[in-house]
Amino acid sequence: MKNIRFRRSLSLLLIGMTLTAISSCEKQTDLVPNNSFAEGDAFVTPDRIAQAINGVYSAAQAGAYSADGSNRGYPFGAANTEQQDARGEDVIAVPSFFVITYESTYLANSPNNTSMWETLYAMINRANVVIEGVKTAAASNVITPQLALQYEGEARYLRAMGHHELLVHFARPYGQTPDASHLGVPYRTVGINTPQKVEENLAQGRNSVKECYDKILEDLTFAETNLPATYATANIKVTHATKGAAIAMKTRMYLHMGNWAKVIEEGNKIVSASAPFTSSIGGYTLTASPDGPFASNYGNTESIFSIENNTNRSSGTNGSISAMYSKGPGRALIALSPIIWNAPFWKANDLRRTLLASNDATATVAPRAYFSNKYRDQATFTDANPIIRYAEVLLNVAEASARVNGVNDRALALLNAVRNRSVTTVADQYTLANFTGPNDLISAVLNERRIEFLAEGHRWSDIHRLSTDAVFTTGGIPAKVSYANTTFASWNATTPYTGIRGVTQIPAADYRFVWPIPQSETDNNSVLKGQQNPGWN
């Protein structure tokens, strides 16, 4: 008989055969379960089925932290953003929550990487159970076939998103081998809700990276085909998957694959031919001010898909993005690094320096560092976690266009659409004359990503995908600044940072560049134990 560690090791937190009851999807998603019911009863009425699909969003917002079972925003309520940022060099981990991730001293049983694996697969499993359930419900005429396809599309969108998050942490990037035949992660598509299925799952090993991306794109294309362009309720427009969200996510996937033509093809579905760029699907457009998506988390035109946190359920003071990133009354455990703050490509008069960041000075205490101001509710932690914004789609297409067509008007216009709302001094704005060749323009787009998505958890994904790029690789995990080696003078927007980088670089070839498959998994799964990432055996 397997013990409870075995069950958790596979992240099958639903194998107790219950599905959390969540309120109707045309209201604010109630992330607090009012009750639960057996899986066999979950798909017998339209209302319960709606509650079951909302349960997948609930699993995305808050899984159990492996160290103590608490809600710390794993996988997508907050932790994906915090862990991805802490793996890069553009923030500083202020002791002590994220230092293990920041300094790459994690082990196969460290709670942060273990929790990411376990909660992502728990969410994926819940999505798979729901996919099977809605098909059965449609066959029994409990819901219409059209609604069943929509619900399946929502679940497959989340399933795709979860598997990609696993890939960027636990597998080498797509370009590591010419045909991407190296090991990815197990792509799980069967709901594991019986003891027999648990045993069968132990025989599943890692798919190749190519197989994973193919399956991700298959899921996202299904979602694009079957999801609505929008919903009637404001919050739901942003916090439930839509046709536009599936397309936007496909531009990200193709970017990671280095398939520039497909980035452009998908992007053109939701990016108009010329400025001001708008989408005919979902009505997405950039907000006039760079703080627009954060001043109104759930009511702006730029947020395509975000994970909801609300007053009833959030990751609180020990996990929420507002607590971790923000100065007092936040906990200020993730500071902005002088590496990015002092970067010459970030103009000193850029509005994002004042609208989206601030130092921690008070009337009685001198400033110590700069922190993000994107997440503003330090009282009840209701800030949405932004997963993908329209600004990303524009920059995805801009990069792909520059890689395919060199220096060109469209790539420049897309870059400027994002940048010029913050860089308002005309003399500082880009023209074609600023770029002598494609690499200059691509570099400008990549630099813009570091500024625009600072404190949104994108930096690690870019380090990961670019690690095999002949021109733009960082060479691995860049050297980082230790908080202990800084004073407030370290932050100077007019002078590049030349101080101590107390956390040394880790080359891309080093085993620590990818996380180990958790011990909680390999202890009970002999197939994955034999497929552990090299160096972690």
Per-domain boundaries in the chain: 4-322+383-525
Rounded Cα distance between 37 and 335, Å, is: 43
Residue 357: in which H helix or E strand, if any?
strand 357-359
The 10s digit of each residue's pLDDT in 255-308 is 999 999 999 999 999 999 999 999 999 999 999 999 999 999 999 999 999 999
Question: Lowest-confidence range among 157-166, 286-295, 312-321?
Answer: 312-321
Percentage of the chain with pLDDT > 90? Answer: 87
36: which DSSP letter?
Answer: E
The 10s digit of each residue's pLDDT in 442-478 is 999 999 999 999 999 999 999 999 999 999 999 999 9
β-bridge mates for residue 371, sequence order: 358
Rounded Cα distance between 437 and 274, Å, is: 22
4-322+383-525 topology per CATH:
1.25.40
Rounded Cα distance between 85 and 91, Å, is: 7
Average pLDDT taken over every residue of the chain: 92
DSSP string, 130-169: HHHHHHHHHHTTSS-HHHHHHHHHHHHHHHHHHHHHHHHH
402 torsion bin: left (phi>0), alpha (psi -120 to 50), beta (else) = alpha
The 10s digit of each residue's pLDDT in 50-101 is 999 999 999 999 999 998 999 999 999 999 999 999 999 999 999 889 999 9
413: which DSSP letter?
Answer: H
Rounded Cα distance between 316 and 305, Å, is: 21
Rounded Cα distance between 240 and 230, Å, is: 9
**Cα-trace Rg, the chain:** 22
| Contacting residues for 473 by C-beta, under 8 A, at least 6 apart | 466, 467, 508
Task: Report helix, strand and coil shares of the chain as percent, to nearest 5.
Answer: 45, 5, 45
- Contact between 444 and 431 under an 8 Å Cβ cutoff? The reply is no
Give the number of other CB atoms < 10 A from CB of residue 390.
27
- Residue 38 binned pLDDT confidence (cut-offs 50, 70, 90): low
**Is the predicted pLDDT of residue 200 greater than 80, yes or no?**
no
Quote the tokens at residue 412: 């420049």
Cα three-residue angle 355-281-389, rounded to 5 degrees: 25
